[in-house]
Amino acid sequence: MATRASRPVTVTLGDLAEPAHSRVASGRYASLSEVVRAGLRALDREEAALDDLIRARIAAVNAAPDDRLPLADGMAGLRVRLSRPDAG
């Protein structure tokens, strides 16, 4: 028999209790603990995939040519436009 690696934890499943119990009743999982562990592993995979997506999008933005106007140039252009007599 395997030894327990951590202390028992009480979890309130709320609306998720019925689907969790159904998974155990189907025989797919031996206990509610297995269902919760499987759910946490799935959450870990989902969060890792989202982290990868965010990192990829940031890398794509950082690799893109920088066609933004520098702030100093934008402010200089704004000052010129506001100094015109017809600027209203």
Distance CA 88, CA 83 (A): 10
Mean pLDDT for 51-66 is 88
Distance CA 73, CA 69 (A): 7
86 domain-assigned: no
Confidence class of residue 5 from pLDDT cuts 50, 70 and 90?
confident
3 domain-assigned: no
The count of domains in the chain is 1
48 domain-assigned: yes
State the pTM of this model: 0.62
- Show the domain range for 19: 14-65
